[in-house]
């Protein structure tokens, strides 16, 4: 009639495609209809989480959806929630030290100030205390989000020797090879 392996695969794929309350409700109905309400058997046969199925069975019996509490209510608030002027202060400090790409290959703004230097300048110029400022990594993320990309100042490069030999050079021979050294012994 029908293949049990194919039926298991359909049930697993359907549960995988659903989320939240709909998934738990589907699992609970499947457990009630096929496994006589025993979540342990469904866990063994289909590999579903027994806790999720038990929660779904409870929701199905009571008719009330359980709220997960994972809809953005948890977690730490961003630094701007505690320090509302932080982003504008960072922008004000860094804009004077920023420049665009010299070759105009992109629209990025590069700054010579590192995240730690931005933290020091916020304390010095804007009056923030070290305890209230976010970490250096957070300041780095804020700089990137504002469009500033810290870059190192390139040190001046020593000009390489010219390839054209000068007449006074020891390498000015036409063959290009070195003259053998003469060893003078006394």
Give residue-wise pLDDT tens across range 49-97.
988 889 999 998 998 888 766 655 567 788 888 888 999 998 888 887 7
181/167 Cα distance (integer angstroms):
18
Range 28-33 contact pairs with CB under 8 angstroms and sequence separation of 24 or more: 28/53, 28/56, 28/57, 28/59, 28/60, 29/60, 31/56, 31/57, 32/57, 32/60
Q: Give the CB-side neighbour count of residue 106, counting CA atoms within 13 A.
A: 6
CA dihedral sign of residues 63, 69, 71, 73 = positive
Q: What tokens appear for 167 in the block?
A: 């007449």
Where residue 26 falls among pLDDT bands split at 50, 70, 90?
A: very high
Q: What is the predicted pLDDT for the residue at 17? A: 92
Q: What is the mean pLDDT of residues 156-181?
A: 62
Question: Does residue 148 sit in helix, strand or coil?
Answer: strand
pTM strictly above 0.75: no
Residue with the bigger pLDDT between 147 and 109: it is 147
**Each residue's pLDDT tens digit, 105-119:** 666 677 778 888 888
Confidence of residue 4 (pLDDT cuts 50, 70, 90): confident
Residue 27: its pLDDT value, please? 92
Residue 102, pLDDT score = 64
How far apart CA 142 and CA 122 sit, in angstroms, is 13
B/e letters for 8-18, b = 16+ CB within 10 Å, e = fewer, are eeebeeebeee
């Amino acid at each position: 009639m029908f293949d049990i392996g194919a039926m298991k695969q359909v049930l697993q794929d359907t549960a995988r495609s659903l989320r939240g309350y709909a998934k738990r409700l589907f699992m609970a109905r499947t457990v009630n209809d096929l496994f006589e309400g025993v979540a342990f058997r469904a866990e063994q046969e289909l590999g579903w989480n027994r806790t999720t199925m038990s929660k779904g069975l409870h929701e199905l019996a009571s008719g009330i959806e359980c709220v997960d509490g994972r809809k953005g209510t948890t977690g730490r608030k961003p630094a701007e929630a505690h320090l509302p002027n932080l982003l504008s202060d960072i922008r004000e400090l860094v804009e004077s030290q920023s420049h665009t790409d010299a070759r105009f290959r992109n629209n990025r703004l590069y700054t010579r100030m590192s995240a730690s230097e931005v933290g020091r300048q916020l304390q010095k110029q804007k009056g923030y205390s070290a305890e209230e400022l976010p970490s250096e990594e957070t300041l780095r993320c804020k700089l990137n989000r504002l469009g500033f990309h810290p870059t190192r100042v390139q040190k001046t490069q020593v000009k390489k020797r010219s390839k054209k030999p000068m007449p006074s050079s020891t390498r000015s021979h036409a063959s290009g090879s070195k003259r053998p050294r003469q060893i003078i012994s006394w």
